[in-house]
Structure 1
Amino acid sequence: MTFFPTLDLVELLFSSLPAHGHTYPLLPLAIAARAQGHHVTYAIAESFHPVLTALGFDVVAAGPEMMAAFAEAAGRPLDAGPIKPHELGEDELHQVASRAFTEIMPRGFARDLKPILAETKPDLVVYEVANPGAAIAAKAVGVPALAHGFGRAGFAGDDDDDSLRDWGKGLVAIAAEHGVSLDADRIFEFGDPYVDIYPSSIQHPDHRDTENRVPLRPVPFAEPGELPEWVTEHREPLIYLTLGTAFGQAEVLRTAIAGLAATGARVLVAAGPTVDIAALGEVPPSVTVESWVPQADLLPHLDLIVHHGGSGTTLGALGAGVPQLFLPQGADQFINADAVVGAGAGKKLLAGEITGESVSTAAKALLSDSATAAAVRALAEEIAAMPTPDEVAKRLPEFAG
């Protein structure tokens, strides 16, 4: 008789900031862990509870909503509406984002999660790397923790960007409030094992092949939805245009639409939650505009993607083997654009360079360049060789207490 080892089942608590770009990258691993029999609880603000309960996770409320954190950081009333990054000056945006990410959100998550962890005593906390409050709470209670990346590691302290490195200093005081000692110069993953979904070849040099790195294939996640019927039947090249869920600007989208329509391709636009479709005006017949599309399902059908450079979109396109034209607007988008462009798999246009003509020229070049196609293919093959969520989920018990 042959005996097969039984997988040790563990109690897991996942936690991320309440934003699509911070939560969706963790879901493939959480889904795989649940499918293997591990019990998964997800700690996050209530706005993300519906999508998580639909996936079968238990949920607990923790941390502030992103909109509320930014409103508090800017000293604005919450009912004044969402803060739009492009409406703030560079210095003001940096100050608001710094306070939101290194004071308000980590303090809120540490405060809310500490008693939850003390009561439930999970075997392992898996925290999104931009949610250090969850890491602080885990360390305060003595629960083992695993950091989970959402993009290129350098976003949290690139050696070439003093402003980013300085963001971590406020975390030391918050940790001290909970009896946790942190090194101000090492605030990326706090020494915990780091689940890295970024391809090693374009990862930040300081975070490639490190001892605590746990590679994980980036798998796009999207809520269920229907693609337009013509997407799977198109004869012309298909270009997808999006500026994501937080950085949408009608003016940029209008300019890009005009340029992409001039290429002769079919164009599908996701306006996103921050742009009213009516603000885009009448579009050419070759262009279809939707408020939202199931991006994970769309990616395999694309010939080119034109986007802001969010990590989820960047990695999804890399895995699907799609060349990329970046129109970065803020956050880690410039870092992603530089990584992909540096590998020869895309192009970028900065704010002052975005015109209908420049977008059209760059798009045509990306659709036809064989060197770009080879670079895109190489990165897709690298991602395909990374461990799957199922494979990494089987390793979770080794990180648990």
Structure 2
Amino acid sequence: MRILFTSLASYGHVYPLLPLAVAARDAGHEVVYATASEFHPTLEKAGLEPAAAGLTMQEAFGRLFAGDTRSRKEIPEGELNEAIGKAFGRLLPTQFMTDLAPVLAERKPDLVVYEMGNPGGAFAAGQAGIPAVGHGFGRVSSGGPMDRISEQIDAFAAEAGLTGSSRLFWGHPFVDICPPSVQAPEFVAGARRVPLRPVGWSEPGDLPSGIEGRDRGRPLVYLTLGTTPASQAHLLTSALQGLASLDADVLVATGPAVDVAALGEVPSNVRLEAWVPQSELLPHVDLVVHHGGSGTTLGAFGAAVPQLVLPQGADQFTNADAVVGAGAGAKLLGDELTADAVRETAGQLLADGAVADAVRELAAEVAAMPSPEEVAAQLPQYCSGRGS
């Protein structure tokens, strides 16, 4: 069977699809993965054949704000949300739809698996008459800019001939990597969910020295604010200062958007790393402090790690709500995010037996979900007899 996977070009959108794409390839299917060329080296490291399609998010917003010299903080929230809606609901889908048409015509896949942030994959498949399956990257969220995106996508979908709502992915089967207990209840009730265990994906690499075999009597706290430009140094500094005063070791993944020099001197119990293989690291961690990205949130669920969430935008706020609602951690918002609050809240989470019980229950729920290999074996049934 020939399968084309497609997603937006960012770590949080590419990585969640890789376990199923690799499992499908290993099962003997011919797999092509279409996204912007910036992520082609990542796909090649995973042993997947890349195809060029779409724009990066930076390119999309560069077009929307061409010639605008304002910083992100200077753009009014309403204007920014409108731009986000246009970028994800119209500009990116249009470009992917255009670029995927010749790829689909040449490759003639039996099935398209499109990431939920990339509806252009669904539109292109629909126009080509190819069966499609959606694939999530986390919890299905609403509110704020997410509603603007949905409005734009629904209008575009109607033009492309798809009926129904983007909230339920037009009735397509949907590979859902979010544990149902923390997924949006209305989505669980209405969607054609295909459960898939959230298997973390990291590019090959070694854990920082001393992590494996360390003394588990002293807590290890992992701090990350992700890979996007929202990961600003001042936020990382506040969180770092609070965690450094704990009787714990602190490992900070600074990511590509932060100048490590801007963080200045750090205490002896703090370690800075530009990059870590997060999926391999999480089982060694006692607490993760993060921005609320879906990959980190789901990874912590699977590794039974409490979470302190410091959301900054997009779906991070609803992810934080899900963590708190499940009893698996806490959140700090806006002016609450001070070094003192981080220290106090992190200390409480490390000592809270009820939180420890909650994260173990979530990890058991994740472990019971079907593996990528099991879901890959189901994919042929969604091809409507188009061949193998």
Matched, 1:273 2:256: yes
Counterpart of 1:19 in structure 2 is: 10
Matched, 1:70 2:52: no
Counterpart of 1:398 in structure 2 is: 381
Of residues 207, 230, 238, the one that matches 2:220 is 238
Measured against aligned partners, the alpha-carbon deviations of 1:202-239 in whole angstroms (never above 9, x if no partner) come to: 11011225461100000000111222212124332100
Cα displacement (A) at 1:259? 0.6
Structure 2 residue identity aligned to 1:122: P
**In 2 relative to 1, CA 85–319 (structure 1 residues): closer, same or farther, beyond 3 Å?**
farther
Counterpart of 2:109 in structure 1 is: 122
Do 1:323 and 1:373's aligned partners in 2 also have CA atoms closer than 8 Å?
yes
Of residues 192, 204, 209, the one that matches 1:229 is 209
SS at match of 1:241: strand
Do 1:222 and 1:296's aligned partners in 2 also have CA atoms closer than 8 Å?
yes
Of residues 196, 205, 212, the one that matches 2:185 is 205
Measured against aligned partners, the alpha-carbon deviations of 1:243-292 in whole angstroms (never above 9, x if no partner) come to: 00012111111111111011110000011111100011100000001111
Of residues 235, 256, 268, the one that matches 2:239 is 256
Cα displacement (A) at 1:130? 0.9
Structure 1 residue identity aligned to 2:207: L
Map residues 2-401 of structure 1 onto 2, 5 A cutoff. Answer: 10-76=1-67, 88-153=75-140, 155=141, 158=142, 161=143, 164-172=146-154, 174-175=156-157, 179-183=160-164, 185-210=165-190, 212-235=192-215, 236-246=218-228, 247-400=230-383, 401=386
CA distance in 2, matches of 1:86, 1:218: 34
Do 1:343 and 1:375's aligned partners in 2 also have CA atoms closer than 8 Å?
yes
SS at match of 2:211: helix
The farther-off stretch of 360-369 and 206-215 is: 206-215
Do 1:129 and 1:188's aligned partners in 2 also have CA atoms closer than 8 Å?
no
**In 2 relative to 1, CA 234–351 (structure 1 residues): closer, same or farther, beyond 3 Å?**
farther
Count of residues in correspondence between the two structures: 381
**In 2 relative to 1, CA 17–383 (structure 1 residues): closer, same or farther, beyond 3 Å?**
same
Counterpart of 1:6 in structure 2 is: none
CA distance in 2, matches of 1:198, 1:84: 34
The farther-off stretch of 112-121 and 246-255 is: 112-121
Runs of 4+ in 1 over 6 A off after TM superposition: none
Cα displacement (A) at 1:56? 1.8
RMSD: 1.8
CA distance in 1, matches of 2:22, 2:340: 43
CA distance in 2, matches of 1:106, 1:268: 38
CA distance in 2, matches of 1:279, 1:299: 26
CA distance in 1, matches of 2:276, 2:192: 36
CA distance in 2, matches of 1:84, 1:169: 26
CA distance in 1, matches of 2:360, 2:147: 33
SS at match of 2:170: coil
CA distance in 2, matches of 1:385, 1:142: 35
Where in structure 1 are there 5+ consecutive unaligned residues? 1-9
CA distance in 1, matches of 2:74, 2:282: 30
CA distance in 2, matches of 1:359, 1:278: 22
Structure 1 residue identity aligned to 2:175: V
**In 2 relative to 1, CA 225–89 (structure 1 residues): closer, same or farther, beyond 3 Å?**
farther
Do 1:323 and 1:376's aligned partners in 2 also have CA atoms closer than 8 Å?
yes
Cα displacement (A) at 1:170? 2.6
CA distance in 1, matches of 2:76, 2:206: 38
Structure 2 residue identity aligned to 1:205: P
CA distance in 1, matches of 2:71, 2:50: 29
SS at match of 1:201: coil
The farther-off stretch of 204-213 and 97-106 is: 204-213
**In 2 relative to 1, CA 86–285 (structure 1 residues): closer, same or farther, beyond 3 Å?**
farther
Do 1:200 and 1:209's aligned partners in 2 also have CA atoms closer than 8 Å?
no
Cα displacement (A) at 1:172? 4.7
Do 1:17 and 1:44's aligned partners in 2 also have CA atoms closer than 8 Å?
yes
Structure 1 residue identity aligned to 2:122: A
CA distance in 2, matches of 1:249, 1:74: 21
**In 2 relative to 1, CA 188–266 (structure 1 residues): closer, same or farther, beyond 3 Å?**
same
CA distance in 2, matches of 1:84, 1:218: 35
